[in-house]
Structure 1
Amino acid sequence: MKEIYFNHDGNIDDLVSYLLFLQAPNIKLLGVSAIDADGYVDPAVAVCQKLTDRFNLRGDKLEVARSTSRAVNQFPAEWRTASYSFNYLPMLNEAGKVVTKQAQQPAHLDMIAKLEQASAPVTLVMTGPLTDLARALDASPAIETKIARLYWMGGSLNGHGNVVQVNADGSQEWNAFWDPDAVARVLDSAIPMQVVGLESSEELPLTDELRMHWARLRKYPAIDLVGQAYSLLVNPPIQTAQLYFWDVLTTISALYPEVVARVEQHRVKVITAGLAAGRLVDDPNGRELTLVTKADKEKFFQRFDELLMRTN
């Protein structure tokens, strides 16, 4: 049975990803933690507690860890408020109480503890910045051997980023830009990595057709919740840009590798200073990673629906 630890940064896709992990069969979720990046960390932790109470199908013993990591470059505030809105959705609050507890240790220490206690090397899934993993590696280098594979949503290797700020040239992706040195620290490790970058999920846009599909299936509580959650996203992160299922592809690919239709092997390094800080670039002397370059749209949405329909 695959054992998984999930670290995320609390926006809609991250929280939907956690819901999918709670619904998935034939895995064990060792832990979950939230970092204060694309979503505000306190409501993100609260949402995870409530999702655990409502949708923990396997009955995994879970607490939610709160990260104490801080940004080098913080996401725009207007992007981050969705975590507050998600936390107010009626389905998550109808019980009137929260049972799942917050973990006593901060996220990077919780990650270390869960990895050390695991019975076999763990699948680590991260859909936000890599800072908690970098801190965990610094605090306990031996955990490197306890990670079977890291699935990360972050970066861009084609030079087209999503950061529009005065201190950036636009070539970098936000999860990498949040803390470029953390990316460098993880790249310095020997942890096998599969990366979903901005270029990885062009087959998987968020569309009005998909919203109507969820509306027709709202008798399933998890699908109803997902439809409500994505209705909170009115504007894309960059005006005129299309939203894609980057985080959810990372999550589902960790559960079902067949949703990935094509990958490339790259040797990369990260730029850590200057206007290009956070940009991943090909380098013959860099560390090797697997970059997802195409998703199987039919298989992806089939698995998406199957997982969400497991709760009646």
Structure 2
Amino acid sequence: MKEIYFNHDGNIDDLVSYLLFLLAPDIKLLGVSAIDADGYIDPSVEVCRKMTDRFNLRGDQLAIAKSNSRAVNQFPADWRTASYSFNSLPLLNEAGKMMTKEADQPAHLDIVTKLENARKPVTLVMTGPLTDLARALDAAPAIENKIAKLYWMGGSLDGHGNVVQVNADGTQEWNAFWDPFAVERVLKSNIAMEVIGLESSEELPLTDELKMHWASLRKYPAIDLVGQAYSLLVNPPIQTMQLYFWDVLTAISALYPEVVLASEKRRVKVVTTGTAAGRMEDDPNGREITLVTKADKKLFFKKFDEILMRAE
């Protein structure tokens, strides 16, 4: 049975990914933590506590760890408010209380504790910045040997980024831009990395047809929650940008590796200063990663539905 630790940054895709981890069969979720990046930290943690109360199908023993890491470059405020909207959805507030606790330790130390106590190497899934892992490695370098594989949604190697602001040249992806130094620290480790970059999920756009599909399956409470959550996205963060299932592909590929149809080994480095900070580049002397290049669209959505339909 695969044991998983999940660290995310609290926007809609991250929270839907957590829902999938709560409901997926044949895994054990060792821990979950949220970082104050693409979503505001307090509502992000509350959503996770509420979803754990409602959808913890396997009954894993969970407390939600709250990161105290801080940004080098913070996400735009307009993007981050989605965590407040998600936290207000009726299905999550029907009980009127939260039973799942907040963890005693901040996220990076929670990662250390969970890995040190794990019985076997852990699959680490991160759909936000890498800062909590970088800090965990600095605090306890030996945990590197307790990580079977890191699945990370971040970066871009095709020269296209999603950062549009005056101190960036537009070639970087936001999770890397949030803290380029954390990316550099993790690349210095020997942890096996599978990277879902901006270019990795082009077969998986968020469409109106998909929203109608979820609407037809509202009798399943988890699908109803997902449909309501994605309905909050009236406009993409960047008006010319199509939204794709970057974070959810990261989660589902960790659960079902066969969803990844193609990937390639790349040697990379990250720029840490200047207007290119956060940009990942090919480098023959860089760190080897596995970059996902193609996903099985049909199998992805099949697994997506199957997992969500498990909730009563």
Would you say same fold, with TM above 0.5? yes
- Provide the residue aligned with 2:77 in structure 1: 77
Q: Distance in 1 between matches of 2:219 and 2:261?
A: 31
Q: Map residues 184-263 of structure 1 onto 2, 5 A cutoff.
A: 184-263=184-263
1:107 lines up with 2:107 in the alignment: yes
| Amino acid of the structure 1 residue aligned with 2:58 | R
- Provide the residue aligned with 1:64 in structure 2: 64
- Provide the residue aligned with 1:31 in structure 2: 31
- Provide the residue aligned with 1:137 in structure 2: 137
* CA RMSD, 1 decimal: 0.4
For each residue in 1:97-151, what CA deviation from the matched residue of structure 2 results, as whole angstroms up to 9, or x when unmatched? 1000000100000000000000000000000000000000000000000000000
Instruction: Report the alpha carbon displacement of residue 44 of structure 1 after superposing the two structures with TM.
Output: 0.2
Instruction: Report the alpha carbon displacement of residue 235 of structure 1 after superposing the two structures with TM.
Output: 1.1
Instruction: Report the alpha carbon displacement of residue 237 of structure 1 after superposing the two structures with TM.
Output: 1.6
For each residue in 1:28-79, what CA deviation from the matched residue of structure 2 results, as whole angstroms up to 9, or x when unmatched? 0000000000000000000000000000000000000000000000000000
Partner SS state of residue 48, structure 1: helix
Q: Distance in 2 between matches of 1:41 and 1:237?
A: 19
TM-score (norm 2): 1.00
| Unaligned segments of structure 1, at least 5 residues | none
Instruction: Report the alpha carbon displacement of residue 311 of structure 1 after superposing the two structures with TM.
Output: 1.1
Q: Distance in 1 between matches of 2:269 and 2:11?
A: 27
- Provide the residue aligned with 2:48 in structure 1: 48
Partner SS state of residue 135, structure 1: helix
- Provide the residue aligned with 1:94 in structure 2: 94
| Amino acid of the structure 2 residue aligned with 1:284 | P
Q: Distance in 2 between matches of 1:95 and 1:202?
A: 38
- Provide the residue aligned with 1:269 in structure 2: 269
| Amino acid of the structure 2 residue aligned with 1:36 | D
Partner SS state of residue 276, structure 1: coil
Q: Distance in 2 between matches of 1:85 and 1:46?
A: 12
- Provide the residue aligned with 2:168 in structure 1: 168
Segments ≥4 residues shifted beyond 2 Å = none
Instruction: Report the alpha carbon displacement of residue 240 of structure 1 after superposing the two structures with TM.
Output: 1.8
Identity of aligned residues (%): 81
1:284 lines up with 2:292 in the alignment: no
| Amino acid of the structure 1 residue aligned with 2:45 | V
For each residue in 1:245-293, what CA deviation from the matched residue of structure 2 results, as whole angstroms up to 9, or x when unmatched? 0000000000000111110100000000011000000000001000000
Instruction: Report the alpha carbon displacement of residue 4 of structure 1 after superposing the two structures with TM.
Output: 0.2
How many residues of Structure 1 are paired with residues of Structure 2 in the alignment? 312
- Provide the residue aligned with 1:301 in structure 2: 301
Partner SS state of residue 265, structure 1: strand
Q: Distance in 1 between matches of 2:105 and 2:240?
A: 41
Q: Distance in 2 between matches of 1:264 and 1:156?
A: 14
Q: Distance in 2 between matches of 1:241 and 1:261?
A: 24
Q: Distance in 2 between matches of 1:196 and 1:88?
A: 29
TM-score (norm 1): 1.00
Q: Distance in 1 between matches of 2:36 and 2:311?
A: 30
